[in-house]
Amino acid sequence: MGMIKFPGYSRRVSGWILFFVLVPVFLNPVTWNLKKKICPLCHRDSQYYVLGSYGGYVHYRDSRFELVEFPHDEELALYTCIHCGYSVFMEDFSTKLKRKIQKKLRTVLADFRFPRKVENYARIPISERLELAEYCYAAGVSCDCAPFWIWFYPIKAYHVAKADKAEEARNIRIKTLGLVESALLRPKNQGIQKELVMDAGILKYLTGDKEGALMLLNDALSMTYNHRELSMENNDKYNRYLAEFIGEYLQKISKKSQ
């Protein structure tokens, strides 16, 4: 299945819509196949893992409680060129890079050297690849805007936390919360407030403020989602999906306090 590319928030919406439209709910395990791909920056080839099969259940994984959705909860979904260090998520990898961005990336990655020879990117720790990806995205591969980073940093925090770096993950989430709070102040984000307030609630919960999380999640539940780039029907569906998810989150938090 080809992934549709949307910036920041819309990626989450698009993933959700694709899930219902294109992904049959069957129980195929997640499988990955190796495929040769050419790096859009240095034009050298290497082996990358591409998705073979998976089932609809991947959208119900616990990673969503940390604001991370399939396939970004999979380490293999973050590609790194073993020759030049160019690192982005799989759906961004084949995107042609503008000359100006290539120049910036070459500067950013100029000192990049892997300490050892690796057969493919999967051998490089995910924390190293995420650092590189952060540099690459900031150099202009994606829009250097709040919605993108609000989407990216929870993925980073998720993998960092899995690598037993709880304090580092907490700091990333606190930084993300700051971005969400700033985004909430912008009038243009009025329509997506429900999702932003939900994000803020989840980030509060993940950084240890349960009371603050409960307050924000209940606030989010009372709001209506209305993304200006979506049809009324899809806004309606997404609004219901968010309400269900927030309800589930509230239940999860209450269970933990018992």
CA distance 109 to 141: 13
Q: Does 61 bind Zn ion (CB under 5 A)?
A: no
Query: Nearest approach, Cβ of 214 to Zn ion (angstroms)?
Result: 46
**Stretch 85-124: interaction string toward Zn ion, x if CB under 5 A:** -x--------------------------------------
Residue closest to 100 by CA, chosen among 60, 141, 135, 71:
141
DSSP element (H, E) containing 37: strand 32-38
Q: Does 139 bind Zn ion (CB under 5 A)?
A: no
Query: Nearest approach, Cβ of 38 to Zn ion (angstroms)?
Result: 9
Query: Quick one: which segment of 54-62, 75-83, 101-109, 230-238 binds Zn ion (CB under 5 A)?
Result: 75-83
CA distances from 21 to 25, 97, 236, 242, 250 (A): 11, 30, 15, 17, 27
Q: Does 177 bind Zn ion (CB under 5 A)?
A: no
CA distance 81 to 249: 37
Q: Does 202 bind Zn ion (CB under 5 A)?
A: no
CA distance 129 to 115: 13
Residue closest to 88 by CA, chosen among 119, 125, 131:
131
**In the set 67, 77, 81, 146, which binds Zn ion (CB under 5 A)?**
81
**In the set 13, 41, 202, 206, which binds Zn ion (CB under 5 A)?**
41
In the block, residue with structure tokens 């030049």? 84
Q: Does 136 bind Zn ion (CB under 5 A)?
A: no
Nearer to Zn ion, 32 or 114 (CB): 114
Q: Which residues bind Zn ion (CB under 5 A)?
A: 39, 41-42, 81, 83-84, 86
